[in-house]
A and B are shown apart, each in its own frame.
Chain A
Amino acid sequence: MEASTHALMAEGLCKRYGDTTALDGFDLAVRPGTVCGLLGPNGAGKTTAVRIFSTLLRADGGRATVAGFDVARQAAQVRYRIGLAGQQPAVDEILTGRENLEMWGRLYRLDARTARRRADELLERFGLSDAAGKRAKHYSGGMRRRLDLAASFILAPQVLFLDEPTTGLDPRNRNEVWKSVQALVAAGTTVLLTTQYLEEADRLADQIAVIDSGRVIAEGTPGELKSAIGGDRIDVVTRDAAGLAEAVRVIAQVTGAEPETDPDARRISAPVRDRIGALTGAARELAEAGVEVEDLALRRPTLDEVFLHLTGHHAAAVDPADPAGRQEVRA
């Protein structure tokens, strides 16, 4: 059975809320020990998928398994094998970090002594030992997230769900959370990570599933997705705005493609086939045309460009009715 070779599997999941279709034939298969990044804008159905996998929500149609157990019919078995870190850290603010972990440990049915030992281990592991006796209320955003991660990791679950784990965090805190996630993955946990941050999926995921309007529209490694939209790109930044038009003409001629222009950044970008030919050609022609260039570089496309290419709209399109959008404003 396929369930035994996949840590996570979904087939044709559907979920409707009144007139809104949250999931519309959602398929996914994640191999054990890998990180799958579920990438999509607000309202694409990411959270709905995670809630169905983590037994919090029942699908209207289709089926899903976690560690080989059906989420609808074998919810109790699933709950023993998963950890969930939702969009906001579900930590008790009035309890200290250690008390939080001990409480959740007790509720995972560890005896008091084991729960205490496990709490200390996790505090150490997630870099919270110094703050163990402080109430979670006084934790920074990143510390709360790490405490939340620690709580979801008490039973060392086979599968960990991280729903936008770094939403609302500053870059330093985001980095701390990423390091913690990477450490868990190194220990063999399968992770399903939802994110709107392209950089996050690129950095953490082995496999990315791009989700839009409740279904997966593309799947592959970050590299595969990037090459799927036509390989690398060349970027030119001119020294002043006056040179921009001339540079656009030159790049169009060298690459044979219609370049995209960002006038504010004085940046021109175009896809290339022959990487080195395009680079040397562009350097020569720009110099001959007398355009002063500040930067000239080859690069791989960003995931935002992947998304734009696949869906026709930017990944940052925010649905104002989506709660996650509001949360970000608040955070």
Chain B
Amino acid sequence: MTELLVPAMPTTPLERVRWALSDGWVVARRGLIHWVRNPVMVVYQLLWPIMMVMLFGYVFGSAMVVAGGGDYREFLMPGLFGQTVMFGLATTVMVMTTDASQGVTDRFRSMPMSQSGVVLGRSFSDMVNSVLELVILVGCGLAVGWRWHHGFGKALAAMGLLLLLRFALIWVGIYLGLIVTPEAAAAAWAPLFPLTMIANTFVSPSQMPGWLGLLAEWNPLSATVGACRELFGNPGWPGESWAAQHAVELAIAWPVVIVAIFLPLSVRRYRRLDR
């Protein structure tokens, strides 16, 4: 039988960080293996962007007029990037609730592992997943004539803002995943879908009825999408409102606010699982 050395507990902060990182990597690897071994999911994630580009770019797009002029598909792509990032929230919630309902979360909690490693691993694999989704979508965009016009650096900065929003949403997802059941998580699409539409993703808020337009202007997603349009040099920017003119600032501020709220809430919720 293997001689088992029961590992010592970390004592210094540095050891603790190393511990969290190595546990985080094990958890992240698991998340990535899940993704790779789920061919239905992989095909779905490949087809979904193509379908969305077809639907919105050509079906609805043929009747769309961009406020302030410009090509609709150029206007559309940053919106689709933003929507994809928002939909990632449902993935995080789903995985969290599945783990909880299958007792995996309990096993994590009953083990001497780094509890922040669980969350680190989760966010890492979700981020990798989102990067892949964005890469596929960029490919689709390029195929239908979307371009970035202000250089590669600014294009990367726009991608960075999208991933920043995704990172913030991971914490929302973890929090929700700790309080809802898998059944409720499956229903997360219902509120998520309008949330990605009542924004500047597909239509400029200025074209909506006043009250709805106001909601759409201040949707955190609008800030990120607006900032992306600015950085890519796509049409639909700038808007007339204060929020639209400060899209980049808001695209940084919103995720920071979301993390500031939901990170402590998630940690607290995780700790309170023992109540």
Contacts and interface: CB of A to CB of B under 8 A. Distances in A.
Given A107-B23, A155-B6, A79 B103 contact: no
Nearest to A55: B110
Interface stretch (B30-38, B168-176, B193-201): B30-38
B102 A108 contact: no
Given A90-B102, A121-B2, A155-B4, A84 B107 contact: yes
Contact of B7 (A54, A87, A110): A110
Contact of B26 (A56, A93, A106, A156): A106
A86 B112 contact: no
B106 A86 contact: yes
Interface string A71-105: 00000100110101011111011110001000110
B114 to A, nearest CB: 9
Contacts of A156: 4
Contacts, number: 85
Interface range on chain B (Cβ under 8 Å from partner): 20 to 34
Contacts of B108: 107
Contact of B111 (A57, A79, A121): A79
Given A56-B273, A58-B274, A109 B106 contact: no
Interface string B229-269: 00000000000000000000000000000000000000000
Contacts of B111: 79, 104, 107-108
A92 B113 contact: no
Contacts of A82: 110
Contacts of A121: 1-2
Contacts of A300: none
A331 B182 CA distance: 18
B106 A90 contact: yes
A240 B48 CA distance: 70
A95 B30 contact: yes
A55 B275 CA distance: 11
B147 interface: no
A92 B104 contact: yes
B9 interface: yes
Contacts of B38: 94
A114 interface: yes
B109 interface: yes
Contacts of B29: 103
A179 interface: no
A117 B2 contact: yes
Given A57-B274, A58-B274, A155-B4, A84 B110 contact: yes
Interface string B16-27: 000100110011
A118 interface: yes
A123 to B, nearest CB: 13
B218 to A, nearest CB: 38
Contact of A118 (B4, B104, B273): B4
Given A58-B274, A87-B103, A156-B4, A92 B109 contact: no
Contacts of A86: 103, 106-107
A118 B2 contact: yes
A151 interface: yes
A300 to B, nearest CB: 36
Nearest to B274: A58
A80 B37 CA distance: 32
Nearest to A77: B9
A269 B196 CA distance: 70
A79 B113 CA distance: 9
Interface in B110-144: 110-113, 117
Nearest to A116: B2
Given A58-B275, A156-B4, A90 B112 contact: no
Interface string B60-103: 00000000000000000000000000000000000000000011
A121 B26 CA distance: 21
Contacts of B4: 110, 114, 118, 155-156
Contact of B107 (A55, A57, A90): A90
Given A56-B109, A56-B110, A109-B112, A90 B7 contact: no
Interface in A117-148: 117-118, 121, 135
Nearest to A156: B4
Contact of A109 (B7, B27, B107): B7
B112 A76 contact: yes
Nearest to A72: B274
Contacts of B30: 92, 95, 103
B112 to A, nearest CB: 4
Contacts of B113: 107-109
A128 B124 CA distance: 32
A296 to B, nearest CB: 48
Contacts of B7: 108-110
9 contacts: A56-B274, A58-B275, A80-B112, A84-B106, A88-B102, A89-B103, A104-B107, A106-B23, A107-B26
